[in-house]
Amino acid sequence: MTSQKSQNSNMLLAFLTLLGVIVLVAVVGFFMLRKGPEIIQGQAEVTEYRVSSKVPGRILEFRVKEGQSVQAGDTLAILEAPDVQAKLEQARAAEAAAQAQNEKALKGARQEQIQAAYEMWQKAQAGLAIAEKSYKRVKNLHDQGVMSAQKLDEVTAQRDAAQATEKAAKAQYTMAKNGAEREDKAAAAALVERAKGAVAEVESYIKETYLIAQTAGEVSEIFPKTGELVGTGAPIMNIAIMDDMWVTFNVREDLLQGLGMGTEFEAFIPALDRNIRLKVYYMKDLGTYAAWKATKTTGQFDLKTFEVKASPQEKVEGLRPGMSVILKK
C-alpha cells in the first residue's frame, strides 16, 4: 500500500514538473515572439557648397585646413595662373595703344603737319592767281582777234585746274587745323572702351585666383594638394553650412503613421545619448527600386520606401553630419 502511494506521488510530481516546463516555455515563447518596436535609423545631414575656380592654375597656398571654421569673405586658397597674368599684360598694352590713338584723334594733326598743309594751300593760291592773270590776258587778246580760240581754251583749262587744286589744298589745311572728323573720334573712343573692357575681364580672372568663402561654414573636405594643377571648374574643397542641418530617414510606407508633413516627433541620438525633437518638412517616394517586395501571395502587397527629412526644433550642440538618429515606432 505504501509502495502504491509512493508511486502515485512520483507520477503527480512528474506531471506537475512537466506542466511547469510547458507553462515556462509558453511564457518565454510569448515574450520572445511578441513583436517589438520598429527601429528606423536615420542620419544627420548638412548643406554643402563646392568651391572651385573659373581659371586653370596651380595651387599656390591653402589658407584653411579641413575642419576649420570660416566666415564669409575669408580667403580659402590662392592659385598661381601665369597664363592669365600674361593676358593681362597684353590687354593693358592694347589699352595703352587705343588710348594713344584716341588722344591723337582728339588733338588732331601736329603743328608741323598743319604748317605744311598751310604752305601747300598758299602755293595753290599763288598758282591760281597766275592762272587767273593768264586767262584774263589771253581772253582780252582773243576778244581783239589777236589770239586763237585754242589758246584761250588752254588757259581756261589751266585756270580751272588751278581753282580745283586751291580748293583741295584749302580743304587739307582746314582738316589738319580742325582735327579728325566726329566719326573718327567716336571710333577711337570706342576702341578705348573696348580695350578697357578687355582689361577688366582679365582682371576679374586674376581675382578668381583668390578663392573666397561665400558663406560661413566649416571646411569638410579638401581635394587637391598644394602644388597640384587644377582645371577650370575643378572642385577644390567643400564647405559645410553647419547652421543648416537636418535628419534624413528612409521609412517603409506602413510605418509612416505619425510622420506626416509638419508633424513633430522625438528621436534618439546615440552619440550624444539624448533625445531631440524634430519636425517633418519633406517627404518623397524613392521609387520602385526601393520598394519592399511581398514574399507571400495572400494578403500581402509591395511597400514603397519614402525619404523623410526633419529639422531639429532647437540647436543641438555636438550634432555632426553623419551621426545616427534613432526613431522607435
Does residue 173 sit in the same domain as residue 311? no
**Residue 136 in domain:** yes
Q: Quick one: 96 and 192 in the same domain?
A: yes
Is this model's pTM higher than 0.85 or not? no
26, part of any domain: no
Domain containing 94 equals 88-204
Domain check: are 151 and 257 in the same one?
no
- Tell how far CA 132 is from the center of its chain: 77
CA distance 282 to 215: 24
- CA R_g for the chain: 49
Packing angle of the helix pair 82-107, 182-207 (nearest 10 deg): 160
Residues 94 and 124 in one domain: yes
Burial class (CB in 10 A: 0-12, 13-18, 19+), 144: exposed
Residues 210/19, Cβ–Cβ less than 8 Å: no
228 and 198 fall within a common domain: no
C-alpha cell at 277: 525633437
Q: So what's the pLDDT on residue 29?
A: 62
Specify the CATH number for the domain of residue 56: 2.40.50.100
Q: Residue 271 sits in a domain of what CATH number?
A: 2.40.30.170
Q: In which element (H, E) is residue 251 found?
A: strand 235-252
pLDDT for the residue numbered 108 = 52
The answer to the question of residue 21 being in a domain is: no
Answer yes or no: do 77 and 214 share one domain.
yes
pLDDT tens digits for range 55-85: 888 899 999 999 999 999 999 998 887 776 6
Distance (Å, whole) CA 66 – CA 328: 35
Structural domains in the chain (count): 3
Of 242, 210, 233, 246, the closest CA to residue 70 belongs to: 242
pLDDT of residue 250: 92
Tell me, what's the pLDDT at 214? 92
Model pLDDT, residue 325: 94
Per-residue model confidence (pLDDT) at position 72: 94
Q: What pLDDT score was predicted for residue 298?
A: 47
Which residues in the chain come in under a pLDDT of 50?
Answer: 109, 295, 298
Q: How far is CA 298 from CA 13, 16, 301, in A?
A: 46, 42, 9
DSSP of 24-71: HHHHHHHHHHS--PPEEEEEEEEEEEEEE-SS-EEEEEES--TT-EE-
Q: Nearest Cα to 239, choosing from 84, 41, 99, 69?
A: 69
292 in a structural domain: yes
- Please tell me whether residues 158 and 303 are part of one structural domain: no
Whether residue 302 is contained in a domain is answered as yes
